[in-house]
Amino acid sequence: MVFFLFQVLVGLIMVHLARLLMKNYHGGHVAIRFALGGCANRPYFRIVAAYNKRARDGKYLEQVGCYDPLPNSHNEKIVGLNIERLKHWIGCGAHVTKPVEKLLGFSGLFPLHPMTITNAERLRKRRALEAPATSQEETPSD
Amino acid sequence: MAAPAGGRFGSGLMLPALRRCWAPLRRPPLLVPARGRKSRFDPPAKSKAGRVKLPPPVEPAELLVVAERYRLYRLVLHALRTEFKEEVMQKSREARLAKEYGKEAMEEHQALMAWNDAENARLRKKREERLRREEEELQDRKLQGALNHARLMEEFLKQKEQEVLQLQEEARNFITPENLDERIQECLDNPRNYNFAIDKEGRVVKRSVLS
């Protein structure tokens, strides 16, 4: 009987102490970003909604997708996205980091990122400059 | 080139980036390297003695293009964020109302909203119909007014022409300095008597003693 009462009391106290053990953030915000996992020479990213000040691979609020940067046997890079939860977090005011923005631009949820277009243009220009240079090198050698 | 471009874009973030075009000429080399294996009190290595670190070069034309792309991108993103926020609000509102009032009340509310929308659509159609008819009538009246005006102008011009022709006709009989002598002679040669007598029955007598 006494033991039972003691257990009830401890339960009540721990309920109120647990709130104090939780981390309180001041002025932080939620960010949707990459959390790196995998092994040596084998990266793997989880797209994660986490508080800004948390460690990169630390405790997160919710996993919202995944991204495998290494291409598979069909030369594809796999990306998984939970669009509904993404929309929910962005509607709650989460910030989105640049790599995630670029991925979402490729997926179609966001428009294509400006730097994606700019880098593609720069690459094209560089290849156009290199192609005549190499052809000029080949023809005198012949 | 930076000054005129900076005049319009300088208020944004472009002017600092534009300054990087002249960075190789103007900026002093950075002396504090980024942290890594060494702490901030360790001296830099001897191989890095004459190293000059410069930021990446920037082309002004490309920068303008990229700035415009970013502006449009941020516009779209802001709109998307507003949209998602609205969805979240809607969901939370529905959950709260469902918890408070129950499912039947929610369905009734939805039915009423649908009815309201239908009413609005119907009234809008009526209003648009009325406006279109009024517009047409206005156009008709304007046209009529223009035609009337044209007709009146035509009549006025015709009248004036008539008057001018009449005057020209009368001008033939005017007395001018050239005709003066002839006319005087004519008048003196043909004396005219304007006297006449009339009685109460209305019988006129032109012949008199003087003529």
Q: Where are the domains of chain A?
A: 27-97
The two most distant CA atoms of chain A are separated, in Å, by 102
- Contact residues, chain B, for A113 at CB < 8 Å: 73
Q: What is the mean pLDDT of each run of 10 residues along chain B (211 residues)?
A: 46 63 57 73 92 94 97 98 97 90 88 97 98 98 98 98 96 90 92 88 82 51
pLDDT of the residue at B103 = 84
Alpha helices in A34-113 (DSSP H): 83-91, 98-107
pLDDT of the residue at A16 = 74
Per residue in A44-79, pLDDT (tens digit) is 999 999 999 999 999 999 999 999 999 999 999 999
Q: Are B23 and B53 in contact (CB under 8 A)?
A: no
Say how far apart CA A41 and CA A69 lie, in whole Å. Answer: 11
Q: What's at B196, amino acid-wise?
A: F
Per residue in A81-104, pLDDT (tens digit) is 999 999 999 999 999 999 999 999
pLDDT of the residue at B2 = 45
Q: Is the pLDDT of residue A23 over 60?
A: yes
CATH code of A27-97, in short, is 3.30.1320.10
Say how far apart CA B177 and CA B4 lie, in whole Å. Answer: 79
Buried residues in A76-86 as b, exposed as e (16+ CB within 10 A): eeebebbeeeb
Q: Across the interface, do A91 and B69 touch by the CB < 8 Å criterion?
A: no
pLDDT of the residue at B13 = 56
> Which residues make Cβ contacts (< 8 Å) with residue A99, sequence separation at least 6?
A33, A34
Q: Lowest mean pLDDT of A22-26, A119-123, A127-131, B81-85, name the range.
A: A22-26
* Burial of A118 from C-beta contacts in 10 A (0-12 / 13-18 / 19+): middle
Q: Across the interface, do B77 and A114 touch by the CB < 8 Å criterion?
A: no
pLDDT of the residue at B165 = 97
Q: Across the interface, do B77 and A111 touch by the CB < 8 Å criterion?
A: yes
Angle, vertex CA A120, rays to CA A118 and CA A125, nearest 5: 95
Q: Are B90 and B113 in contact (CB under 8 A)?
A: no
Instruction: Give the minimum alpha-carbon distance from A46 to chain B in angstroms, rounded to a whole number.
Output: 22
User: pTM for the complete prediction?
Assistant: 0.60
CA nearest to B71 within chain A: A114
Q: Is the pLDDT of residue A139 over 60?
A: yes
> Which residues make Cβ contacts (< 8 Å) with residue B18, sequence separation at least 6?
B2, B5, B6, B58, B60, B63
Buried residues in B49-82 as b, exposed as e (16+ CB within 10 A): eeeeeeeeebeeeebeebbebbeebeeebeebbe
Q: What's at A10, amino acid-wise?
A: V
Question: pLDDT confidence of A32, banded at 50, 70, 90?
Answer: very high
pLDDT of the residue at A39 = 95
Question: pLDDT confidence of A5, banded at 50, 70, 90?
Answer: confident
Q: Across the interface, do A88 and B62 touch by the CB < 8 Å criterion?
A: no
- Contact residues, chain A, for B80 at CB < 8 Å: 90, 109-110
pLDDT of the residue at B36 = 77
Instruction: Give the minimum alpha-carbon distance from A13 to chain B in angstroms, rounded to a whole number.
Output: 30
pLDDT of the residue at B4 = 45
